[in-house]
A and B are shown apart, each in its own frame.
Chain A
Amino acid sequence: MKWRIVSISLMILTLLLISCTVLKTLYVSYPKNSKLFSNEMNKLNIQLGYYDLLSKNSELYNVHFHINGNNIELKLRNPDDNHLQIKLNMALKKVTLQGKIYSYEPIFTSKSNANLLLTNTLGYLEHGDIMLIRLSSPGGKVTLTPTGMIINHI
């Protein structure tokens, strides 16, 4: 009798452990309401800079965010070249324990970007989803992009 009770207790404990882990993975994941981006981001005056010390090339882009629900439209504009504009769309696909996963879709490039430093990054993003990881630090909240770039939030 006692073996049966112990065995059943162990089985229940095992099942509870597995259930809790599954539930935690499914539901207690990355908080859905924690917004990585909002239209407030435009107030941050974010600029992206790509540099290559060997070729001595550099590119600067001013970033404009347009948030529409789970979609983020990003406009990259080169402050030194008004003709160079890149527009891309990111749609939220999944929220995981590690971060948010977005699908990526380039919408528009004003001119051929074959000789741009940014091309590498855009090409890399086109071949998979983008996972954005929100991190806390003593210096404030930051978002880590798949390419390693870090964006600081207010």
Chain B
Amino acid sequence: MISHCVIHHWLIDISSSSLIHQLTGERRRLGEYQLKLLIVLVQNAGKIFTREELNSLVWERRVIGNNSLPNAIHALRVALEDNGKQQRIIKTIPKKGYILETEFCQFHLDKQEKNEGEEQTAEESRENKSPLSLHTAVSPDNHPGQHAPQQVIPHRTQKRDGKREHFWRWMCLAQGLLLLLVVGLLAITSSSRQENKMVEQSSGIYSHIHLYTLAHSNDPLSLTEDINKLLAPALTELNTLLRVKQAEMKVFYLVTASALNYTMVITNRCDRRQLAMKIAQFRSDNSQLNALIYRETERKINEMENCIN
């Protein structure tokens, strides 16, 4: 059985006591104790080890200096492209010890091993007392007298990772659908909330009259109707009158099912008058409508102050 443990793209090759980069193939040799320390940390990734624990697990009963462990940790960090400041992979927990972050620790099984070990692993894992259910074996090539884990069998971890990836893949799909739904809803909402605006109608027909009407109204009762067709006789006469009186008129109008809302604003150089009209039943008699518009506009024009030069 051959299994591999990869940390941050570095594959632990126990037989050669080195780390091999998965992408570049670069090989970094590790010292005996550095390798042993790394294996201990990998076997128990996510667990905090005190200095004393590591000393006894890695160096066993040997007498070592105070800096042996920190130096070995430093060497591992350098080898794994971690550093003492960031401590992404091997972290120093103040007043506690060291920990190897599980997220950087990935296990890969060869196909053959997968098939063979599938059934065994469950039992072996059960028997294994390690909280991470890691299986270790002594390598014949390993250094004499040392129990180094040649294989780390991560069946459960792999299965869990697979499930996790599956979950996130579905989650991703669900999030994508949710996003599309939200965008769709917002688009529908914003399109239904079209802004009302006034636009000029029949531009250029009259020299002294400007007509403006409401466009894109959400009011289903409002109609877009060119009022010039209805009021052409009155407006033509009024245009002449306004020219004589040196005044300008703006008309803002809105046609609804029941009424014509017609607001005239007449300005000359010194005065301004406004009449907001609501004309019910305005379609009943067009001549009467024209007469009304003419009469009221003329009245407002006559109300205006005469400008003195």
Contact = CB atoms under 8 A, between A and B. Distances in A.
A139 B176 CA distance: 46
A6 B193 CA distance: 32
Contact of A142 (B171, B176, B198, B200): B198
Interface string A143-154: 010011111101
Contacts of A82: none
B252 A152 contact: yes
Given A14-B182, A135-B197, A150-B252, A7 B175 contact: yes
B281 A52 contact: yes
Contact of B165 (A3, A49, A142): A3
Interface of B: 164-165, 168-169, 171-172, 175-176, 178-179, 182-183, 186, 193, 196-200, 210, 212, 214, 222, 250, 252-254, 256, 259, 261, 263, 265, 271-282, 284-285, 288-289, 292, 296, 300
Interface residues of A, number: 45
Nearest to B265: A152
A83 B285 CA distance: 32
Describe A's contact surface by its main secondary structure.
mixed
A87 B199 CA distance: 33
Nearest to A25: B189
A17 B182 contact: yes
Given A3-B172, A10-B175, A47-B275, A138 B212 contact: yes
Contact of A140 (B193, B199, B250, B253): B250
Nearest to B262: A150
